[in-house]
Amino acid sequence: MPAPTEFLQFVDQNADAFIQRLSDAVAIPSISGDASHRKDVFKMADWLNDQLKAVGVETQLVDLGKHIMDDEELQLPPAILGRIGNDPKKKTVLLYGHFDVQPANKSDGWDTDPFTLVVHPTNGQLIGRGSSDDKGPILGWLNVLQYHFQTGKELPVNLKMCFEGMEESGSEGLDDLVKREGSGNGGWFDGVDCVCISDNYWLNTRTPALTYGLRGLTYFKLTVSGPSRDLHSGVFGRTVHEPMTDLIHLMGQLVSPTGKILIPGVDEMVPPPTEEEKAIYSGLDYSIQDIQDAAGAAIALSDDKVNVLMGRMRYPSLSLHGIEGAFSGVGAKTVIPAKVSGKFSIRLVPPQTPDAVNPLVIAYLQSEFAKLNSKNKLHIEDLHGGKPWVADHKHWNFEAAKRATEAVYKQSPDLTREGGSIPVTLTFAETLGVNVLLLPMGRGDDGAHSTNEKLDRSNFIEGTKLLGTYLYELASV
Ligand SMILES: NCC(=O)N[C@@H](Cc1c[nH]cn1)C(=O)O
Ligand SMILES: [Zn+2]
Ligand SMILES: [Zn+2]
């Protein structure tokens, strides 16, 4: 069933107001991974709750309890559950998104303040933290709902919504809620026929995509400590075991410069690709130039597009993220830091799971540390994790999204697996027993998690049309 022309016109006519609303959302620095911003994640939950209620959604804020972050006990931001429509003749679609964002500081290299949405004067890019990941897509749903509310037009499907504020920090508390309310005992998630998540990106900058796979994740923090306080390197250099030296050595044993994971057994868990599978990657609209443009430099690990795509979609990867406690200021401080914590994560693919991989990681780190004969102490923490997910892309949920993409973009979508992770995806699929679709709004060069994150104006506006059209197509597949 095509979306009404009136809806498509409404989106075009209200584009500036939609961008203003995105600007209001970006202005709330809802960084879930920074305790000092926890109040902003709550503020963002209230803001979104008000917006949803204003377009006719019946909502409830669900308390997810408390958690410990950086040795501090914190209240988790609430999940927002919303619903609109309860017609037994219609399909019920669950929409998921997250209203928290990654940290961002102008000093990281942003050209503008990350929490002030800037509309680029010539190319129309909407630049600001969360514009693409994931406030833009959430607001896309709000735009669709606003049309139906303002015109009194009935939605073609029943909608349930689940929006969370901890996705960028492991979705703490959400799995329990989904399992409690979605296991078929009359809970809130019962009756859902399919799930749609708009929280990833096209592969390139020109071809819309539907996504049927995500990598899982396991995130570690390694702390090496020794002296009771920071030391003078002129006094203590070459006289004591230095925590930073031990840590750098350990971090250097994790991954080769060409991406091979050096922890025995981790890469080996993954079966090699079949020729048929390679043909899928070969058929995707992608080039080495795309990854170089998105990365902003000619640094691809391979000149072969299939290898690059498999590196992102069907192989695990290990990335080193940072060192807490290390000297990182300006100048030339001659310090030996007393305690340093290295952070790294592994993106997992089937059949890998955190339960299967974590013991290998821990045993390897302990044995490598033992080889140093260091008198420092090593403490290993597994901060959070999630399993990989792969869906049936021949399902009617994907067919509806394909038709919607063709209607809005006049193009067939790429079928992709995503290199990132959205931990709750697999929980929805397994607990609710329904198909989950990822329907991205933004482009491959949006710079999510990076500096100058943006969402192209056309992706926000046409993406809103796509989300609305998908609901209409769902009603008829
Ligand atoms: N848009 C999805 C996304 O960015 N997910 C994060 C999830 C995560 C887990 N730990 C920290 N963030 C990702 O990095 O893939
Ligand atoms: Zn996201
Ligand atoms: Zn993200």
Please report whether residue 285 resides in a domain.
no
11 and 44 co-located in one domain: yes
Residue nearest to atom 12 of ligand 1 (CA): 168
Regarding whether 365 and 393 lie in a shared domain, the answer is no
Q: Any idea what the CATH number is for the domain that residue 338 is in?
A: 3.30.70.360
Residue 138 Cβ < 6 Å to ligand 1: no
pLDDT bracket for residue 423 (50, 70, 90): confident
Cα of 135 vs centre of ligand 3, distance in Å, is 10
Asked if residue 355 belongs to a domain, the reply is yes
Using a 10 angstrom Cβ sphere, with 0-12 exposed, 13-18 middle and 19 or more buried, the burial of residue 427 is buried
Q: Number of structural domains, the chain? A: 2
Question: Mind telling me the catalytic residues?
Answer: 100, 167
Residues with CB under 5 A from ligand 3 (ion): 133
Matching residue, tokens 């979605």: 182
Same domain, 336 and 403: no
Are residues 237 and 207 located together in one domain of the fold?
no
Read off the pLDDT of each residue in 208-228 and give the average, rounded to a whole number. 97
235 and 338 belong to one structural domain: yes
Which CATH number is 198's domain given?
3.40.630.10
Query: Is 200 among the domain residues?
Result: yes
**Whether residue 74 is found in the same domain as residue 127:** yes
Checking if the pLDDT of 434 tops 90, the result is yes
Res. 70: pLDDT tops 90: no
When pLDDT is cut at 50, 70 and 90, the band that residue 192 belongs to is very high
pLDDT, position 261: 98
> From ligand 1's centre to the CA of 119, what distance in Å?
25
Q: Which ligand places an atom closest to the C-alpha of 168?
A: 1
Structural domain contains residue 88: yes
Nearest protein Cα to ligand 1, atom 8:
168
Assess whether the C-beta atom of 421 lies below 6 angstroms from ligand 1.
Answer: yes
CA–centroid distance, 284 to ligand 1, in Å, is 24
Mean pLDDT of 81-93: 98
Sorting pLDDT into bands at 50, 70 and 90, what band is 2?
Answer: confident
Residues 6+ apart with CB under 8 A from 295: none
In a domain, 295, yes or no: no
**pLDDT value at residue 451:** 97
Q: How much distance in Å is there from the Cα of 462 to the middle of ligand 2?
A: 19
Mean pLDDT, residues 406-423: 95
- If asked whether residues 337 and 442 sit together in one domain, one would say no
User: Do 91 and 48 sit in the same domain of this protein?
Assistant: yes
Closest atom of ligand 1 to 168 CA is 12
| One domain, residues 141 and 254 | no
Residue 302 in any domain: the answer is: no
Q: Residue 245 is part of which domain span?
A: 216-270+315-386
Point out the ligand 1 atom lying closest to the alpha carbon of residue 345.
Answer: 10
Give the list of residues 6+ apart from residue 30 with CB closer than 8 angstroms, or none: 37, 40, 41, 43, 44, 99, 100, 101, 130, 165
**Mean pLDDT across 349-366:** 97
Per-residue confidence (pLDDT) for residue 71, from 0 to 100: 86
Last residue of a domain, one of 360, 386, 412: 386
Q: What is the pLDDT of residues 437-476, one digit of tens each?
A: 999 999 999 999 999 999 999 999 999 999 999 999 999 9
Do 61 and 163 have their domain in common? yes
168: Cβ below 6 Å to ligand 1?
A: yes
Which tens digits make up the pLDDT trace of 359-374? 999 999 999 999 999 9
The answer to whether position 276 is within a domain reads no
Average pLDDT over residues 408-420: 95
Q: Is 31 in the pocket of ligand 1 (CB under 6 A)?
A: no
Task: Check whether 92 has a pLDDT greater than 90.
Answer: yes
**Given 345, 367, 386, which residue is the final one in a domain?**
386
Q: Which of 171, 200, 215, 422 is the best mutation target for the ligand 1 pocket, counting ligand atoms within 8 Å of the beta carbon and taking the most?
A: 422
User: Based on the domain organization, do 370 and 449 belong to the same domain?
Assistant: no
Distance 166 CA to ligand 1 centre (A): 10
Q: How confident is the model at residue 198 (pLDDT cuts 50, 70, 90)?
A: very high
pLDDT value of position 363:
98
Q: Is residue 301 part of a domain?
A: no
Query: Do 168 and 102 touch, CB atoms closer than 8 A?
Result: yes
Report pTM: 0.90
For the CA of 33, the closest atom of ligand 1 is 11
Residues with beta carbon < 5 A to ion ligand 2?
Answer: 133-134, 199
| Average of per-residue pLDDT across 21-28 | 98
Domain end (from 355, 386, 417): 386
Say yes or no: 412 and 335 in one domain: no
